[in-house]
Amino acid sequence: MSFENSSVVIRAIGSYVPEKRLTNEELSKIVDTNDEWITTRTGIKERRIAGETIQVSDMATEAAKLALERSGVAPEDIDLVIVATLSPETLSPSSACLIQDKLGLRKVPAFDLNAACSGFIYGLDIGKAMLSTGKYRNALVVGVEKLSAFTNMEDRGTCILFGDGAGACVISYVDEPDQGIIDCQLGSDGINARHIVIPAGGSKLPANEQTLKDGSQFLQMNGREVFKVAVRAMGQACEDILKKNDLTSDDITVVIPHQANIRIIEAIASKLELPMDHFFVNIQKYGNTSAASIPIAIDEANIERNFKKGDLILLVAFGAGLTWGASLIKWY
> Which residues form the catalytic set?
117, 258, 288
> Segment contacting ligand ACO (CB under 6 A): 11-19, 98-106, 120-128, 259-267?
259-267
CB of 14 vs ligand ACO, minimal distance in Å: 22
Q: List the one residue out of 60, 71, 75, 70 whose CA is nearest residue 112.
A: 60
Which residues in the 69-128 window bind ligand ACO by CB under 6 A?
A: 116-117
Contact status: 230 vs ligand ACO (CB under 6 A): yes
Q: d(Cα 156, Cα 152) in Å, to the nearest integer?
A: 8
204 by DSSP, 3-state: which?
A: coil
Q: Give the binding-site size for ligand ACO (rule: CB under 6 A).
A: 23
Bridge-partner residues for 330, per DSSP?
180, 312
**Candidate residues 261, 293, 302, 327; the one interacting with ligand ACO per rule CB under 6 A:** 261
163 touches ligand ACO by CB under 6 A? no
319 binds ligand ACO (CB under 6 A): yes
| Nearest distance in Å: CB 272, ligand ACO | 18
Number of residues assigned to the chain? 332
Give the H or E element holding residue 226.
Answer: helix 223-244
From the list 218, 227, 286, 331, which residue makes contact with ligand ACO (rule: CB under 6 A)?
227
* Spatial CA neighbour of 332 closest among 304, 313, 314: 313
Minimum distance, C-beta of residue 1 to ligand ACO, in the bound complex (Å): 38
Pick from 181, 221, 180, 201: which is nearest to 318 by CA? 221
Binding segment (CB under 6 A) for ligand ACO, from list 55-63, 91-99, 218-226, 293-301: 218-226
Rule CB under 6 A: say whether 156 interacts with ligand ACO: yes
With respect to ligand ACO, which residue has the nearer C-beta, 108 or 197?
197
Q: How far apart are CA 305 and CA 314, in angstroms?
A: 15
278 binds ligand ACO (CB under 6 A): no
- 3-class secondary-structure state, position 280: coil
Listed in sequence order, the DSSP H helices in the chain are: 24-27, 35-42, 56-71, 95-102, 119-132, 209-214, 223-244, 262-272, 283-286, 293-305
DSSP 8-state secondary structure symbol assigned to residue 143: E
Q: How far is the CB of 154 from ligand ACO (least distance, A)?
A: 12
Where residue 268 falls (left for φ over 0; alpha for ψ -120 to 50; beta otherwise) is alpha
Q: Is 37 in the site for ligand ACO (CB under 6 A)?
A: yes
Contact residues for ligand ACO, defined by CB under 6 A? 33, 37-38, 41-42, 116-117, 156-157, 160, 196, 223-224, 226-227, 230, 260-261, 264, 288, 290, 319-320
